[in-house]
Structure 1
C-alpha cells in the first residue's frame, strides 16, 4: 500500500508514529471481561490528551478535520469509529465541549492536555472554550505543544509565556500542587529540535515534558512522556528513563492507550494497527505503565492517549455502533463484556477503574 502525503498537521504525528513503530512488533492481545468500576473522583495525576481541532458548518462555518482522507461528513468521517455525538464541533458550548468534560470526570481524569498549534492557531482560539468548559466541570487544562512550522526551543519559551499571560489567570489553567504550582507543557515530537537549553528560562513556571526516552535528549526538560500506544503495547524497557527522572526530580509520565488504527484518515498507510481486543489491550498497557521501570513504585503521572484522537482510533470518548452512511465503522461492542448503550462508555468507566488503582498505589507509597 502507498501512503498519501497531502495531509495537514496530523501527518507529522503519523509520520513519527510510523517511524517509531517500524522497529516494534504489533501485540496480539487476548480479550478481557473484567467488570467496569464506578468513578471514584478525579485524579490530578491522570492526564489525557484532548483535541479541540474539530469543526462543523453549524458552529465553525465549515467542516474541520472530519473530512480528512477526502471523506464527506456527516455520514463519512476520517475515523474507523463513529462518535456518539456525531461529527461535532469543538467550539460547541453547551454542546460537545461540556459533554466532553462530564465524560472526562466520569473517567476520573483530572487534567486534559489540549492540543495546541501555536499562537493564533485554530486550537489557540478554542482555548477559552476548553478552559471555560473544564472549569465548569472542576477540571484543569495543560498544553500539548505540537510541531507547528518553525517550532524550536526559543519559540516554545515564547509560547509558554504567551499561554501564561493569556490564560494563566483562568481557574482551569493547570497548576500542579506537588510541583510548585507549575503548569505542564507536553512537547510532541521533541526530537525535532536538538538544543532545548532555552527551556531553563521558564523553569519557575513550567514542567516541560519531552516525548522520548532517549536519555541524551531529555536533560533540559522537566519530565518525560511517550505518547505512542503501539510502543507501550510492546513493553519497552523504561527502567533507565524512570530512574533518570527520579534521580533528578523530573516527572515520569508514561503514556498508554486502548488501541490504534488510522486506515480511514490515512488511506493506504503502512502504520501498524493495535487491536483493542475488547479492552484487554488497554488493561495490559495500564498494568505495564504502572509497574515498568519504576523500581517497585508507580510513575508520577500517567498520560492517556487519548480522549478524542478519532483519526488514530486511540479515543476513549464514547463511540456508537449505530452509524449512518455506507461505510463500516468499528465500535466498542463487547468491550469488558458490555453491549448496546453500555458499551459506548466502556472505556470511560474502565479508565476510572485504573485511575482509582493508580491513586491507591500513590497513597500506599506515601506511607
Structure 2
C-alpha cells in the first residue's frame, strides 16, 4: 500500500508539473472580444524604405517625394519627410520586424480583424515591385503571431500586359489564397480579391482570363461604381475616399453608396477615414487629387464611423483607409500630431475593452526594442512581452516590460541610477521627435523637470535578466530531477 500510494503521489506531482510547464509555454494569439461584430479591416501600405534597406543616405520615394530630404534633421531629431504628419516612431522601413510587430499589435488592440494590403504583384513596370513584394510577405509572415487575417487590394495599373496580370493572380493563388488567415467572403467562402480600379484592364473578357489563374472562384471586388469593368467576374464593390472639388460632400457620397448602391451588390465594403490631407503639391508630385478633407480634430472620423455603424447591415466589412499613407494624410497610425486618438476612436467603434493605455504599452515595447537592441537577454524578454500582448495577457506584459526596460533607465543599462541622472541633466531642455526616447521619461517630447521626477520616483529599479525567467524545458528538468530524488529517498 505504501509503495502504491507513493507511486500515485509521484504521478499526481508529475501531472501537476506538466500542467505548470504548459502554463509557461510561449503564448498564442487570443481572439479579441468586441461588442460590435462587424468585420473591420485596415488598408495597409508596404512601400516605405530607409537607408537600412536601400543603403547609406538613401530613402524611398514615399518618405521624400521630389522635394524633401529625410537626411535633413532638426534639433529635435525630426527628419524632413513628405507628409504633414510625423509618425510617432519616426520614418521607417516596411520590412523592419519591430515596425511590423508594432503595427499589428496596435491593430489587434484596436479591434481590427485583419489587413488589406495594397499589393502590386510579382510582375509589373514599377521599379520597386521586388521590395513591395518582400515587404508584403514580411507582413504576411507575422499575421498568424497576432491572430489577424489578410487580403490584398490589387493594383493593376503597373501591369503592362495581360500576361503580367495573370502572373500576379497566379502568385496569389499559389501563395496567399490557401493561407489559413486569408479573408474569405460570401456563402461559398471565396478568397477576397479587391482591386484598386480596375485601371488597365476594363473588360469582362480580360478579367475572365486573368482570374482563371486561380484554382477556385474569387470574390473579386473593384472600387465603387467600377464593377462593370469586370462584368460577371465582379462579386461586388467597396467604397473609398472621394469628394467633388470644393463641395465638401464626401459624406454625401458615402451615404449614397450605403443607401442606393450597396443593397444591390452581392458583396459590399464600407470605408472610414480620418481625412485627406495630401502632400503631393508640396512634394513636387503635381496635384493628382483635386480635393482635401480636413481631419477636424477627429470629427471627420467620427462622422464616417457613425455612418458605418448606421449602415452596418448593408456591407460585409468596413475598411479603414488607411493605416499609413502619410503622403495622402489618411493615416490611422499614431503620429506626433494626432497621438493615439484615431485608433482610440476605432476602439470605441469596435467595442473592445481597451483604450489608449494599451496602445501606449505597444509603443513602449517598440521603444524598448530600439533601446535594448544590443542586449540579447532583454530582447528575449521583449519577445515574451510581445507574445503576452498577442495573447491579451496585458498585465503580465506590462510587468515584464517594466522589469526589462525600467522606467527612468535613460542610459539603457538596466538600472535606474546615477548614470541616468547624468543623461537627463545633459539633455535638459532638449526636444525629441520620438516621444519617450532619450531622457523623455513622460513621453511629451521635451526633456524637463517632469522627466527628473520620473527618474527620481523610479530610482533603484533594475531590469530582470532573461536567465531569471526559466523556460518550460528548464522547469521540467528541475522538476523531474526533484521527483526522481524524492522517489529514490522513499525507496531507501
SS in 2 for 1:311: coil
1:215 deviation in Å? 6.4
Q: Show the 5 A alignment for 1:145-294.
A: 145-150=154-159, 155-172=164-181, 174-176=182-184, 179-190=187-198, 192-197=200-205, 198-199=207-208, 201=212, 202=214, 204-213=216-225, 216-217=228-229, 219=231, 220-230=233-243, 233-236=250-253, 237-238=256-257, 239-245=259-265, 250-263=266-279, 264-266=282-284, 269=287, 271-291=290-310
8 Å CA contact 2:185–2:192 kept in 1: the answer is no
SS in 2 for 1:63: coil
Q: Which structure would you say has the larger Rg?
A: 2
8 Å CA contact 2:278–2:327 kept in 1: the answer is yes
SS in 2 for 1:107: coil
Aligned length: 290
Indicate whether 1:79 and 2:75 are aligned.
Answer: no
Residues 205-263 of structure 1 show CA distances to partners (whole Å, capped at 9, x for unaligned) of 42111112256446431120122254783312223321221xxxx21002221101113
8 Å CA contact 1:55–1:89 kept in 2: the answer is yes
8 Å CA contact 1:191–1:212 kept in 2: the answer is no
1:41 deviation in Å? 8.2
1:148 deviation in Å? 3.4
1:171 deviation in Å? 4.0
Instruction: Tell me the residue number matched to 2:140.
Output: 131
CA change 1:101–1:273 in 2 (3 A) is same
1:178 deviation in Å? 5.0
8 Å CA contact 2:63–2:91 kept in 1: the answer is yes
CA change 1:116–1:177 in 2 (3 A) is closer
8 Å CA contact 1:114–1:143 kept in 2: the answer is yes
Instruction: Tell me the residue number matched to 1:313.
Output: 329
Between the aligned partners of 1:188 and 1:177, the Cα distance in structure 2 is: 18
8 Å CA contact 2:226–2:237 kept in 1: the answer is no
Indicate whether 1:101 and 2:99 are aligned.
Answer: no
CA change 1:80–1:351 in 2 (3 A) is same
Which runs of 5 or more structure 1 residues have no equivalent in the other structure? Answer: 1-37, 321-330, 333-343, 358-367
Between the aligned partners of 1:86 and 1:190, the Cα distance in structure 2 is: 33
CA change 1:45–1:101 in 2 (3 A) is same
8 Å CA contact 1:115–1:123 kept in 2: the answer is no
CA change 1:40–1:69 in 2 (3 A) is farther
Between the aligned partners of 1:138 and 1:304, the Cα distance in structure 2 is: 18
8 Å CA contact 2:95–2:134 kept in 1: the answer is no
Instruction: Tell me the residue number matched to 2:53.
Output: 59
Residue of structure 1 aligned with 2:153, choices 144, 147, 155: 144
Calculate the TM-score normalised by the size of structure 1: 0.70
Calculate the TM-score normalised by the size of structure 2: 0.54
1:115 deviation in Å? 1.3
Q: Show the 5 A alignment for 1:43-54.
A: 45-54=39-48
Indicate whether 1:345 and 2:340 are aligned.
Answer: yes
Instruction: Tell me the residue number matched to 1:356.
Output: 351
1:55 deviation in Å? 0.7
Residues 267-308 of structure 1 show CA distances to partners (whole Å, capped at 9, x for unaligned) of 66363211111111011112223435x7xx331111111011
Between the aligned partners of 2:114 and 2:345, the Cα distance in structure 1 is: 17
CA change 1:215–1:146 in 2 (3 A) is closer
Between the aligned partners of 1:349 and 1:40, the Cα distance in structure 2 is: 14
Q: Which has the higher helix share?
A: 2
Between the aligned partners of 1:55 and 1:41, the Cα distance in structure 2 is: 37
CA change 1:90–1:138 in 2 (3 A) is same
Between the aligned partners of 1:109 and 1:154, the Cα distance in structure 2 is: 35
Between the aligned partners of 2:274 and 2:316, the Cα distance in structure 1 is: 21
